[in-house]
Amino acid sequence: MDLTGLSASALSRLIHARKVAPSDVMSAVLARIARVNPAVNAIVALRDPGLLMAEAQALDDLEPSGWLHGIPFAIKDLQRVSGILSSSGHPGLADFIPKADDMLPRRVRAAGGIIIGKTNVPEFGLGSHSYNPVHGVTGNPYDPSRSAGGSSGGAAAALAARLVAVADGSDMMGSLRNPAAFCNVYGFRPTFGLVPADPEGDGFLHQLATDGPMARTIEDLARFLEILAVPEPTDPHSRAWEPFSAGLDVEVKGTRIGWLGDWGGAFPTEPGILDTCAAALVALTDLGCSVEAVPPPFPADRLWESWTMLRSWSVAAGLGVLYAEPKSRAHLKPEAIWEIERGLSYSAAEIHRASVIRSQWYATLAGLFERYDALVLPSAQVWPFPKEQTWPRRIAGQEMDTYHRWMQVVIPVSLVGLPALAVPAGFGEQGLPMGVQIFGPKGTDRRLLRLGQAYHRATDWPSQRPAEA
């Protein structure tokens, strides 16, 4: 039995039934990491294999507890994990080993997961390509010379390469949706607040980023979301918990879906992407959903104006302390400095204007969601690009004026905190994956997962595994 090819849910059932021991799983995972990871560099800061085997063996004879009991887990390297190098890809943190866990790894441990190391990211999660001066660049399992996306690129690549069964991601500007598309896996950006954040600093102003699950099956997404979404009294946006994995298999016939395409040409897209996304639309139609093209519902330039102001303001709030100190500023990458300086330059009135724009977009969406149960966009505007590139400079003849303009397609969701399910859509002519994002009103997370389950049953794109290096 190829234990590394199983879903986390399948592994959990085997472990709970005492048909497979945690040490069996750990041995298989470590062997695969040794064989496959050098080509993709998805897992970083890997702990000592001997210690990991000892931890797994200690669980062999214990009564299984949580869903992740005895399952190896690699945490995204934007989370602080006790006893494990937690650099966020930043050279100034190249020796930083925390003494305590953030909330997410605490919840993974409480569910029985064995934390084996980290998944790679771009420095501080900025940019949708996972490279940094501490751990290097992550390659795409379907073509290691190409990008795996980011900032959850290491997580997506580890899933596709069968190095982990389930993973955590985070998403500000498509940070789990883009790598899910690039690596032919699923990613779920939950309604803002559903997955609570650590109670540090301000808890009200910045609502652009959230943690979320990534997996090769919808069931794994739902079960891991149940672990992540336990309400937290200290989080002002925390929402009620739901049994997301219960009743996943439902009839989706009659679901009304609006296809936004490239926003009337406002989002330049490389050739073949929209055609590949059409495969996902056909699959949804075959399931009995009605799919209708939707004209651009809001000016793209106004969304971009609001997004870039609020994003830079948020980045400046988070990284401003490093910028203020000349020694630590020297270690920041140019994109981080650019964001921080923009964020520090805005007046309160300008931030208010940006928030007014996002409020108007949210009101527009309310009208759209009276006609449609869900809306669909591509998850990315480019195919996985050569990993030596820092970011795409041109799409379909159009110059990109910022390091993140090429990911503009994700901001209609991120700007207003909607739930979005990133699903694979198939492969292009070069054999590279692509995906679409299906999103709905706030609080419809469970409905989106059920639609995703029907889509997964009909397509199961992640079962088309990459060739091993």
Tokens of 39: 């080509």
Per DSSP, helices labelled H in 325-444 are 326-329, 334-345, 348-371, 411-414
CA-wise closest residue to 310 among 155, 406, 172: 172
pLDDT at 469 over 60: no
| Residue 1: band (very low, low, confident or very high) from pLDDT cuts 50, 70, 90 | confident
Neighbour count for residue 5 (Cβ, 10 Å) = 14
* pLDDT score of 12: 98
Tokens of 328: 């630590």
- Radius of gyration of the chain from Cα atoms? 21
The amino acid occupying position 379 is: S
Cα–Cα distance measured from residue 95 to residue 4, given in angstroms and rounded to the nearest whole number = 31
DSSP code at position 27: H
Domains, the chain, in order of start with CATH, read 7-463 (3.90.1300.10)
Phi-psi region of 263 (alpha: psi -120 to 50; beta: other; left: phi over 0): left
- HSE, side-chain direction, 13 A CA sphere, residue 387: 25
| Residue 468: band (very low, low, confident or very high) from pLDDT cuts 50, 70, 90 | confident
pLDDT at 158 over 90: yes
Cα–Cα distance measured from residue 427 to residue 182, given in angstroms and rounded to the nearest whole number = 10
Largest CA-CA distance found in the chain, in angstroms, rounded: 62
Tell me what the pLDDT averaged over the chain comes to: 97
**Secondary structure (3-state) at 230:** coil
**Secondary structure (3-state) at 410:** helix
CA-wise closest residue to 146 among 439, 434, 459: 434
The amino acid occupying position 110 is: A
Dihedral pair phi/psi, residue 44, rounded to 5°: -125, 165
Output the pTM of the full model. Answer: 0.98
pLDDT at 5 over 80: yes
Phi-psi region of 107 (alpha: psi -120 to 50; beta: other; left: phi over 0): alpha
CA-wise closest residue to 154 among 82, 99, 76: 76
Residue that is written with structure tokens 């939950």 in the block: 190
pLDDT at 390 over 60: yes
pLDDT in tens, 254-285: 999 999 999 999 999 999 999 999 999 999 99
Q: What is the DSSP string of 415-426?
A: TTT--EEEEEEE
Please answer whether residues 402 and 381 qualify as being in contact, where contact means their C-beta atoms are separated by less than 8 angstroms: no
